[in-house]
Structure 1
Amino acid sequence: MEATAPTSVLLPTTGWGDTCEEIAEQLRPADELLVICDRELESVVDRVAAHPANVRLVVAGEPEGCSGKANAIAVGMEAAEHDRIVWTDDDFHHPPDWLETLRADYARQGPTTELPVFVGQDPLARLFEPTYAISGTLAVYFADIPWGGAVVFDRSDLADEAAFLEELRRTISDDGLLMEYADVTAVKRTRNVEIGGSTRETLENQVRFTQIVRHHDPTGLAAQAAVGAALAAGCLLFPLPAFALVTAAMATVYAAFGIRRWTFLAAYPVALAAIPLLSYALARRSFVWGGRRYRWREKFDVTVENP
């Protein structure tokens, strides 16, 4: 598959930042970077104007019936000039070879995603890091689940682009929906993504992550609940052996993905809290993400409210 095809990079963001500069410097002349904001920001307009014409501001507007991220991606897909598409986020470092590496991945195996490693920015988020390592890194890798922070594909890889964009404007998770429209291969290459910042934000993220699995992979959610219940029971019945086994297993996962964090030691208490956390997340009627409150009743039934 051609590695030299011109590429449209879609970057939803709330303002011009380091990520915009990092990606702009990696563009080939035929490529384009779409900086997608909810509204036209003078600071972004000025910075875009200082770059070549292949860096553009795209104004997405306010979302109606979908998340701000899904709305931004849908608008960006329609505005993009090329068939080769890269989605990314502004919350991690993009090294100088990031875009070229994704091009090479696509040439070798088609649609490809990298892996997130979520790094907690508050005490509760740090405690949850073993959960993030399992569901956000390990599961993404073995199940070939696309991560919207770093994924490359071609429009022709989508089963039905028109239907995809129509449904994107009626749901929350951009990458959750992409999973249903394209076959993506995950590569064992990680990017550190800061997450949380306060207890409330971490709990809101937990609700959102759980709801994504609930709506896009209900069978996986049921399996997760069964495994979590069995693991919690084992931890309660055999605390010392379970502590040693769970901690060693998590240390192995961390080592396998190059995660150099002490938080694998929190695996045992997280295992005990798995079912209460799952129950809490499923019981919540809404969650806050990016300054908006969402009520996600069904996969394609979303109400956007002020937080």
Structure 2
Amino acid sequence: MSRPPPTSVLLPTVRWTDACDDVAAQLRPEDELLVVCDGDDDPVAARADELPDGVRLVRAGDPERCSGKANAVAAGMDAASNDRIVWTDDDFHHPPDWLSTLHADYERHGPVSEVPFFVGRDPLSVLVEPLYALGGTLGTHAGDKAWAGAALFERDDLDADAFLSELRLTVSDDGLLSEHLDATSLRRTRRVPVGGSVRESLERHVRFSKIVYRHEPRDMAVLLAVGAALTLAGALFPGPVAVLATLLTAFVYAYFGVGRWTVLLAYPAMMLQVPLFAYGLARRTFVWGGRRYRWPSKFDVRVVE
């Protein structure tokens, strides 16, 4: 395999985490890691004068018409020195061969993305792990959708100007990237801890529900219809449906190489999916990263607080 071109890795975060160290250690001399924060008030900004070689701090500023994450990614794309781009997040472990493996995947497939497996840290996020496995993991992989936690592409793989223009007007960075980029979703998972409190998990579910609704409204209609049918079947025939739901979820877990006892929660999670989606769609606002947003339409985002 030929040597990959110089690469810019974008990592939005407000604090220095183990993920920053993981990625910085994998840089070649010609690569760069752009740690993107909001501004000087973020804890990571205090490290600006003591960053490892190849690491730069980018201050994105406060978002005005998009989410803080979308604003950070757009600022990182503008600041990147290279045409080969990697997106990643600060909340999961990056093994020592993470970056080199993505480069090898790109040589075989073109633009690529890994998939997340969300691991709950509070009662609600633990309970809905099977839903996240079916939607967030299997759904992302089966639909060849990009995940912002681990995506590699080059600027010429998409219309970068059009993408960035829209990115500054919306909430979901990877939801929009999936519309602009023809990527291959790899069957390689990264375990991402989520939640911490029931309130935080509810806000996350609201955001996920609205992302699906804004970017894939037909998918949301299908999810609600299928979910309603399964809920009715689960109420009428709880035993058989519980067995089938558990077996299906166990297959998905095994397919992605995940061993988690939460597979046993497949039936109660299934019975909750329609009420949770309905709650998510009914909410007018949601909180993400300390900011409250109202999202009336796909390219109309209002920072409320």
Normalization by structure 1: what TM-score? 0.96
The Cα offsets for residues 32-52 of structure 1, whole Å up to 9 and x where unpaired, read as 000001012586456454345
> Against the structure 1 CA distance between its residues 245 and 76, is the aligned structure 2 distance closer, same or farther, given a 3 Å change threshold?
same
* 3-state SS of 2:210 partner: helix
| 2-structure distance, mates of 1:227, 1:52 | 50
The Cα offsets for residues 131-186 of structure 1, whole Å up to 9 and x where unpaired, read as 0001110011111110000000000011x211111111110000000011110101
- Measure how far apart 1:235 and its partner are: 0.7
- Measure how far apart 1:53 and its partner are: 4.8
Unaligned runs of 5+ in 2: none
The Cα offsets for residues 51-90 of structure 1, whole Å up to 9 and x where unpaired, read as 4552100000000010000000000000000000000000
| 2-structure distance, mates of 1:51, 1:293 | 31
The Cα offsets for residues 223-264 of structure 1, whole Å up to 9 and x where unpaired, read as 111111111111111111111111111111111111111111
| 1-structure distance, mates of 2:250, 2:42 | 47
Q: Which moved more, 1:42-51 or 1:103-112?
A: 42-51
* 3-state SS of 1:145 partner: coil
Which residue of structure 1 aligns with residue 286 of structure 2? 287
> Against the structure 1 CA distance between its residues 42 and 125, is the aligned structure 2 distance closer, same or farther, given a 3 Å change threshold?
closer
| 2-structure distance, mates of 1:114, 1:302 | 28
The Cα offsets for residues 86-115 of structure 1, whole Å up to 9 and x where unpaired, read as 000000001100000111111111100001
Is the contact made by 2:38 and 2:72 (CA closer than 8 Å) also made in structure 1? yes
* 3-state SS of 2:81 partner: coil
The Cα offsets for residues 175-215 of structure 1, whole Å up to 9 and x where unpaired, read as 00001111010111110001010010000000000100000
Which residue of structure 1 aligns with residue 128 of structure 2? 128
> Against the structure 1 CA distance between its residues 3 and 206, is the aligned structure 2 distance closer, same or farther, given a 3 Å change threshold?
farther
Letter in 1 for 2:37: C
Which residue of structure 2 aligns with residue 269 of structure 1? 268
Q: Which moved more, 1:200-209 or 1:3-12?
A: 3-12
Is the contact made by 2:15 and 2:42 (CA closer than 8 Å) also made in structure 1? no
Which residue of structure 1 aligns with residue 151 of structure 2? 151
| 2-structure distance, mates of 1:135, 1:279 | 16
| 1-structure distance, mates of 2:46, 2:166 | 33
Is the contact made by 2:212 and 2:220 (CA closer than 8 Å) also made in structure 1? yes
Is the contact made by 2:106 and 2:112 (CA closer than 8 Å) also made in structure 1? yes
Q: Quick check: 1:229 aligned with 2:240?
A: no
Q: Give the % identical residues.
A: 59
Letter in 1 for 2:164: L
Which residue of structure 1 aligns with residue 137 of structure 2? 137
Please provide the CA RMSD for this pair. 1.4
Which residue of structure 2 aligns with residue 252 of structure 1? 251
Which residue of structure 2 aligns with residue 5 of structure 1? 5
* 3-state SS of 2:165 partner: helix
* 3-state SS of 1:260 partner: coil
Unaligned runs of 5+ in 1: none
| 2-structure distance, mates of 1:156, 1:26 | 24
Which residue of structure 2 aligns with residue 242 of structure 1? 241
> Against the structure 1 CA distance between its residues 5 and 41, is the aligned structure 2 distance closer, same or farther, given a 3 Å change threshold?
farther
Normalization by structure 2: what TM-score? 0.97
The Cα offsets for residues 254-303 of structure 1, whole Å up to 9 and x where unpaired, read as 11111111111111111112211111111000100000000000000111
Q: Quick check: 1:204 aligned with 2:203?
A: yes
Which residue of structure 1 aligns with residue 61 of structure 2? 61
Runs of 4+ in 1 over 4 A off after TM superposition: none
